[in-house]
Structure 1
Amino acid sequence: MTWIDISQPLYSNTAVWPGDTNFQFSLNWTKTQTGSVNVGKLELSTHTGTHIDAPFHFDNEGKKVLDLDINRYIGRALIIDMVGKQSIQVEDLKKVEINGTQIVLFKTMSWSNREQFPTTITYIEQGVASYLADQGIKLVGLDVPSVDPIDSKDLAAHHELTAHDIHILEGLVLDQITEGLYELIAIPLPIKDADASPVRAVIREIT
């Protein structure tokens, strides 16, 4: 089966958290200048586009990106349709058979224009992390920029997921993806001391 890219393209209009660093790519050297090569330069937030959060993002004592087990970001992933939901609740998950995988990805479609940062999103409610941990889940992903409400300051879902040893993947693009079982690869960059990392997330359907 063909691999499908479910990560956001990065360009100057990619939406970022209000006040955060805008994405920029430019040629630091051109082939004309060097006589042989083009060499690019990047400026971006670690939370740009599709990315993983390390616990250090919201806990000064938490693990940083290079401390994380990359095996958590590779494996069988169940994509669950949560379109139209204001939030993801335990009662929603009780209707879904999620045994046999350690990764769940929630399709919410609550961020339609990725050139504009959303004011509201579908988020994860209290208790979901505990329920997912009991099901053996080790990674949760969503198609929105946070597992918590946009205006959250206590970041309850971030903390609860981490307390249950569940890793966090945000900013996926699942618009054209149907509910079902897939293989996922979404490995963070080995950035020492970082609080997060952009990823190239890809899936292919398991039949």
Structure 2
Amino acid sequence: MMSWIDISQPLTNHIAHWPEDQPFIYETTVTKANSGSVNIGRITTSTHIGTHVDAPFHYDTDGRRILDLDINRYIGDCTVIDLSGYDAISAAALQSQLTERVERVLIKTSLPNNPEHFPENVPGVTRDGAEYLNSLGVKLIGVDTPSVDDISSKALEGHHALYEHDIYILENVMLDNVTPGNYELIALPLALKDADGSPVRAVIRPKGVVS
């Protein structure tokens, strides 16, 4: 029986975070020694830490929040492709690896997936790349980078282009050791009612495996 593959970045006190954003902090605020019964932890975090999803409210003040989104988008068949030879997630790059209809696509880029290092540049999704994904019926894109746009971008062209085609966004998946092909995906956000994003535990399993 093939096991599920965890493609999440572990949340630790050393995980990289967006410059000037809230870092992830876990601390034990109640100990069994002091309470006599339990240990209790507390986390302080950004909603865009590690492996996470974006809600449209993240880049559109009038956009939907996490609980407004269709949870079914985050569960189901997906295809993993390798675009590590390209410097942008463009239509041309996508056409080289993806030609059949698919609802979810996870993209391996040239960026080494190091959870403790925040990159200076990443290959972003172009407008024609989003249009091409839409033509194939894609409803969710996952990338192994902190953003679907260049780190310094203020216009966030990739985010907005994907939004125009109702394509959901999953970021910072770990694909360095994943073979391109067809998988099942589970990447559920937390039920954060008014949030602009959420950390997720993302896992994949090769297609055709019965549990």
Aligned 8 A contact 1:109 1:143 in 2: no
Aligned 8 A contact 1:27 1:38 in 2: yes
Q: Which SS does the other structure have where 2:120 is aligned?
A: coil
Aligned to 2:184: 183
The AA in structure 2 aligned to 1:27 is T
Q: Which SS does the other structure have where 1:87 is aligned?
A: coil
Give the distance between the partners of 2:153 and 2:167, measured in 1 at CA: 19
Aligned to 1:4: 5
Q: Is residue 2:145 matched to residue 1:105?
A: no
Give the distance between the partners of 1:161 and 1:198, measured in 2 at CA: 20
Q: CA deviation at 1:33?
A: 1.3
Q: CA deviation at 1:124?
A: 1.1
Q: CA deviation at 1:98?
A: 4.5
Q: CA deviation at 1:109?
A: 3.6
Give the distance between the partners of 1:103 and 1:42, measured in 2 at CA: 31
Aligned residues: 207
Aligned 8 A contact 1:109 1:175 in 2: no
Q: Is residue 2:54 matched to residue 1:53?
A: yes
Q: What percentage of residue pairs aligned between the two structures are identical? A: 51
Unaligned runs of 5+ in 2: none
Q: CA deviation at 1:77?
A: 0.6
Give the distance between the partners of 2:203 and 2:52, measured in 1 at CA: 12
Q: Which SS does the other structure have where 1:187 is aligned?
A: strand
Give the distance between the partners of 1:51 and 1:86, measured in 2 at CA: 22
Q: CA deviation at 1:129?
A: 1.1
Give the distance between the partners of 2:112 and 2:161, measured in 1 at CA: 23
Give the distance between the partners of 1:43 and 1:57, measured in 2 at CA: 19
The AA in structure 1 aligned to 2:80 is I
Between stretches 3-12 and 92-101, larger displacement belongs to 92-101
Q: CA deviation at 1:34?
A: 1.2
Q: CA deviation at 1:100?
A: 4.5
Aligned 8 A contact 2:113 2:175 in 1: no
Give the distance between the partners of 2:30 and 2:99, measured in 1 at CA: 50
Aligned 8 A contact 1:187 1:201 in 2: yes
Aligned to 1:167: 168
Q: Which SS does the other structure have where 2:132 is aligned?
A: helix
Q: How does 1:10-49 map to 2 (within 5 A)?
A: 10-49=11-50
Unaligned runs of 5+ in 1: none
TM-score, with structure 1 as normaliser: 0.96
Aligned 8 A contact 1:111 1:118 in 2: no
